[in-house]
Amino acid sequence: MKNTMPFTYLITHIQTGMRYYGSKSSKGCSPEDLGKSYFSSSKRIKRIILDEGVLAFKFEVRKTFGSMEEAVRWEARFLRRIQASKSKDWFNMHNGDGNFVNKGGYRLTETTKSRMRKPKSESHREKLKIHLDNKRVIPEWTDIRKSSQSKFMVGNQINKGREPYNKGKEFPGTGVSNNQSAKGFFWWNNGAERIRSKIQPEGYVRGRGTF
């Protein structure tokens, strides 16, 4: 049977620097699980992982404990000291005391708070595991990717300022070149055919028509 080792941890979102501090104390838990099979209890963290992948975060084990109670007390004491729930620098929505602070600017009802505290069902955990197993991982910035990006950028610079391939060519059946289109030429149609002209031909109306 796997030994249980409760621990506290720190998760940092690399791009924004926002952090999350928590504890893990369930039966069979181990610090080795962090960032591999355990990604915190935070729904905000899990949503970002689904969007950006696990590599968007840095995972750190901060302290291990001999009992669940010790880990939970340490977590709450740390969160209260820094007032994490009120800080924009932390993902935590409560300070380990169950009093959730919504950082979206609206109040949580007691029903919602109760739902957030309620242990998740086995089916819910299984669905989350499927999502995490199929997470989108941001590929590494390899030399091959760098070379490909460089070629793309060079190609854009080469094409910059180059004249369109069809500049000066005539529109079919009109005798009007496309570089004249911005000089007062308009489409006219009589219901059966369309032409471009500066003035309205007799029997024609403005527009390309739908025939």
Mean pLDDT of the chain: 76
Looking at the structure, do residues 119 and 197 belong to the same domain, yes or no?
no
DSSP structure string for the chain: -PPP--EEEEEEETTT--EEEEEE-STT--GGGBTTTB--S-HHHHHHHHHH-GGGEEEEEEEE-SSHHHHHHHHHHHHHHHTGGG-TTB--SS-SSS----TTSSPPPHHHHHHHHSPPPHHHHHHHHHHHHTPPPPPP--HHHHHHHHHHHHHHHHHTTPPPTTTTPBPTTT--BGGGTTTT-EEEE-SS-EEEESSPPTT-EES----
Mean pLDDT of 159-167: 58
Confidence of residue 12 (pLDDT cuts 50, 70, 90): very high
Q: Per the domain annotation, does 18 fall within a domain?
A: yes
* 143 inside domain: no
Position 194 scores a pLDDT of 83
User: Would the pLDDT of 75 be above 70?
Assistant: yes
- pLDDT of 203: 80
Mean pLDDT lowest for which of 2-6, 15-19, 35-39?
2-6
| pTM higher than 0.85 | no
* Domain assignment of residue 201, given as a range: 168-211
Same domain, 121 and 198: no
The total domain count for the chain is 2
For residue 64, pLDDT beyond 50: yes
- The two beta strands, 205-206 and 7-13, are unpaired
Residue 142 domain-assigned?
no
Q: Is residue 1 part of a domain?
A: no
- Picking from 10, 5, 11, 2, the residue whose alpha carbon sits closest to that of residue 64 is 5
In a domain? residue 198 = yes
